[in-house]
Amino acid sequence: MVIQDIMNSCSNEQVAEAAVASIGGTFARRVRETATRRGVRPGALAASAVLRFRSNARAPEFEALQQAVAGDDLPLLRGLAFIVEPTLGEGVDRA
C-alpha cells in the first residue's frame, strides 16, 4: 500500500515538492541544484522521477523500494528519496 501511495501522491508536482522540502537537508539541496541545472522546479524533477520509476521499474526495483521503506518511520518520504536519488547529478537531462 505504501508503494502505491508513493506512486499516486508523489507523481503530483506540488506533493513531490512539499515532500522534498520535508526531507530537507543535503537531499533537498541536491534536488534543487539538479532541478535548477535542468531548468525545472524541484517538484517537477521529483515527480518525473516517480513517473519514470512507475513506468519503467521491474519487479526487482519495486522489491528494493519495498525493502527501503519497510519499517521506516516516514516510508513515503524514504520511498521518494530512494526513487529520486539515482537521478541526481546525472549528466543527461531526464526531467
Give percent of the chain above pLDDT 90: 92
Confidence of residue 89 (pLDDT cuts 50, 70, 90): confident
Examine the pLDDT at 90 and tell me if it is beyond 80.
no
Q: Distance between CA 82 and CA 70 in Å, rounded?
A: 12
For residues 62-87, average pLDDT: 97
Q: What is the pLDDT of residues 7-51, one digit of tens each?
A: 999 999 999 999 999 999 999 999 999 999 999 999 999 999 999
The residues spanned by each domain of the chain are: 2-87
User: pTM score, two decimals?
Assistant: 0.91
For residues 83-95, average pLDDT: 71
